[in-house]
Amino acid sequence: MHVAFDGAHSMTRDLMRAAFKYPFMDCGKSAVYALPHKDNDEALRFIPKMGFKELARTVDCVMFEMKADDCRWIKEKEHGREIVSTSST
């Protein structure tokens, strides 16, 4: 999964929903990861705001994880929120 934005106005809720729907709902993955360079201050501020949690830091990058059960983007509906289970039980 890779998502890139031309600017702040190109990032819409519909784009975010689609970006996270693909790995979690369509592919059935339980987590996605972000690996920004350690000097990318804008990404390091933005990624946690999307719901990612920091896992580790290396010499070059910071590793973030978002689990499907924690992803608010696949739980949102057009009119309010709906709980969506991504676990296969």
11-81 maps to CATH 3.90.440.10: no
Per the document, the length of the chain is 89
The rounded distance, in Å, linking the Cα atoms of 73 and 14 is: 9
pTM of the model: 0.77
What lies within 8 Å, CB to CB, of 79 at 6+ separation is none
Q: How many helices (H) and strands (E) does the chain have?
A: 2, 5
The rounded distance, in Å, linking the Cα atoms of 43 and 78 is: 27
Q: What is the pLDDT of residues 40-65, one digit of tens each?
A: 998 899 899 999 999 999 999 999 99
Per-residue model confidence (pLDDT) at position 86: 52
Cα 9-10-14 angle, rounded to 5 deg: 110
